[in-house]
Amino acid sequence: MAASNGRTKRQRGEIETLPSGSLRVKVYAGVDPISRKRHYLTEVIPAGRTAAKEAEKARTRLLAQVDERRNPRTRATLDQLLDRWLEVADIEATTRMGYVNKLNKHVRPVLGKLPVGRLDAETLESFYASLRRCRDWCGGKAFVRHRVEGDHICTAKCRPHVCKPLSASSVRQIHWILSGALSRAVRWRWIAVNPASQAEPPAPPHPDPQPPGPADAARIISEAWRDPDWGALVWLAMTTGARRGELAALRWHHLDLTAGVLTLRRSAYLDEHGQLQEKDTKTHQQRRVALDPETIEVLRELHGRYVDRLAQLDSDTDPADYVFSPEPDNSRGYRPDTITQRYGRLASRLDIDSHIHALRHYSATELINAGVDVRTVAGRLGHGGGGTTTLRVYAAWLSESDQRAARTLAARMPPRPSVSQRSTMATSPYETIAAALRRQIMAGQLQPGDQLPTVSELAAAYNVSVGTAHRAVALLAGEDMVTVTRGRRAAVAARGMRARRIARMGVQDSPDAELT
């Protein structure tokens, strides 16, 4: 149609013929917000008798997308979208690290170079199916997983790849991560429709918590109590259902042993550099957990050992010190992964299939089976939703609550090892040192008044730290086997003190058993 000035109106979009005879339709769609270059929508029509007609239809369709603002505004890849999304998304530190790990391992190597505008439901569902077949995206091809890169002579560690499917829950997590990023892309008008909303993720797995049974719980407690401090941590995990990060961040001022209340307000985690940090709890709310009398006694004994160690180190107590710590002065808390690994080794020694989070399941199931209402259980565990999560995960145990007598959790806890039992459990380095010195004292090799080796000498002799040697001496001092005076070396205690201690321990066949 002729324009008023006599010129022909320029047609929007263009159709060009390719060397193959195909027709390429090209429509201008604005400036790419990522590359800042002119952005075009393109479509190629195969050569044929109706190619010209089909190309005109495609041009009309692409122009309608531009006019209705339904077109993707960018040729940015999924990698670029994920980078931009992670910059602006308000995500908790530990959640962000989990997202980044899953994206880097599973998503970016496969879909990262694909333009966001070409991502559709079929592509996503095919991707999910491949992850359910093999988490390494092997494509069904056999290959050798080498231990080192470059030319080398393969050893037993260079093994053929074996397909291992990614769990349904992990695939669902990847789906929701992508859905969040693509939703932001729609808001930014990078794309018109979120393809993840049209894709179907795997069905959610049925909750199947596996807490240890009463017999296994008793064995776990007995084994953990070889180190009383570690035993106290496992005991508290069972009775309160606290998460490992919450236990690692627990400080003495969070405990009110007089009122019998534990306040959980912080959680420890490792940042992307592997450094120990603290943050709010998972639900961003502090919670107060009531303690039973036996647990209060466990914590009083733990605090007493802490005070004794600081006396040996000539240091003062500090309410900000950690309750559970690998250091003699409790100045540094445990790494959460250290707690997981140590508990895993404990369970392996007992041939029990368990992990540290199972103690949280143990606390919940025992409370539910004892008749405690789900809302109270949810409050102790720190579950959100007013008990919805608790009910969904632990509903399998609700029917048993009508068949089992309602007892308190303290009554369900396995008994702690007696003092005489603990004395035979010297497996920790400081207990090994204490046991060796104890044998020398009871055999008469070290007489009352004799000085013990210095802590530096003990540390060198047993190849341990000075702090570990301090703990060994403090353990013997607590048993009245040695006396400790500030500024002087520890010495073997007088006969009367030793005799009373031996009588309490029930030792009969020893040279000092008849002392009065």
Asked if residue 208 is part of any domain, the answer here is no
Q: Is residue 494 part of a domain?
A: yes
Report yes or no on 3 lying in a domain.
no
Is 93 in contact with 269 (CB distance < 8 Å)? yes
What does the alpha-carbon distance between residue 141 and residue 160 come to, in Å, rounded to a whole number? 11
| Claim to verify: residue 124 and residue 172 sit in the same structural domain | yes
> Where residue 218 sits, what CATH number does that domain have?
1.10.443.10
Is residue 6 in a domain? no
Q: Are residues 253 and 355 in the same domain?
A: yes
Same domain, 171 and 284: no
- Phi, then psi, of 421 in degrees rounded to 5: -70, -40
237, part of any domain: yes
**Residue 422 amino acid letter:** R
Beta bridge partners of 287: 264
Answer yes or no: are the C-beta atoms of 124 and 196 closer than 8 Å: yes
Tokens of 263: 């306040």
pLDDT for 406: 40
By residue count, the chain amounts to 516
* pLDDT-based confidence at residue 68 (cuts at 50, 70, 90): low
Same structural domain, 480 and 461: yes
Both 304 and 397 in one domain: the answer is yes
How much of the chain, in percent, has pLDDT values that exceed 90?
25
User: Are 380 and 276 contained in the same domain?
Assistant: yes
Assigned domain for 516 exists: no
Most confidently modeled range among 10-14, 29-33, 323-327: 323-327
Same domain? For 389 and 245 the reply is yes
Contact indicator for 428, 227 with CB cutoff of 8 Å: yes
Residue 288 in any domain: the answer is yes
Q: How confident is the model at residue 10 (pLDDT cuts 50, 70, 90)?
A: low
Convert the pLDDT of each residue in 234-284 to its tens digit: 999 999 989 999 999 999 999 999 999 999 989 988 887 888 888 888 877
Q: Tell me which of 27 and 5 has the higher pLDDT.
A: 27
Residue with token string 């008849």: 514
Classify residue 150: in a domain, yes or no: no
Residues 256 and 193 in one domain: no
Distance CA(475)–CA(81), nearest Å, equals 59
Output the CA–CA distances (angstroms, integers) from residue 219 to 56, 239, 304, 379, 513, in the order listed.
77, 16, 25, 28, 32
User: Is pLDDT of 38 > 70?
Assistant: yes
Among the candidates 386, 412, 438, a domain finishes at 412
**Choice among 28-32, 161-165, 274-278, 499-503 with the minimum mean pLDDT:** 499-503
| Burial of residue 66 (number of CB atoms within 10 Å: 0-12, 13-18, 19+) | middle
Range of the domain at 33: 14-67
My answer on whether 429 and 386 are in the same domain is no
**Confidence (pLDDT) at 301:** 92
> Has residue 357 got a pLDDT over 80?
yes
Residue 157 carries which DSSP code?
A: T
pLDDT tens-place string over residues 458-509: 988 888 888 888 888 888 888 888 888 877 888 888 865 555 455 545 444 4
pLDDT score of 1:
43
Rounded to an integer, the average pLDDT of 156-171 is: 81
> What gap in Å lies between CA 403 and CA 254, rounded to an integer?
37
pLDDT at position 253: 93
Provide the pLDDT confidence category of residue 446 given band limits of 50, 70 and 90: confident
Q: What is the pLDDT of residue 256?
A: 92
- Distance CA(183)–CA(200), nearest Å, equals 16
Shared domain for 190 and 241, answered yes or no, is no
Residues 384 and 491 reside in one and the same domain: no
Q: Are residues 38 and 179 in the same domain?
A: no
How far is 171 from 131, CA to CA, in rounded Å? 7
Q: Is the pLDDT of residue 408 over 60?
A: no
Exposed, middle or buried by CB within 10 Å (0-12, 13-18, 19+), for 18?
Answer: exposed
Given this model, what pLDDT does residue 75 score?
A: 73
**CATH code at position 449:** 1.10.10.10
Domain count, the chain: 4
Give the domain CATH number at 115: 1.10.150.130
The token pair that represents 259 in the structure block: 């009122």
- Per DSSP bridges, beta strands 276-280 and 144-145 are unpaired
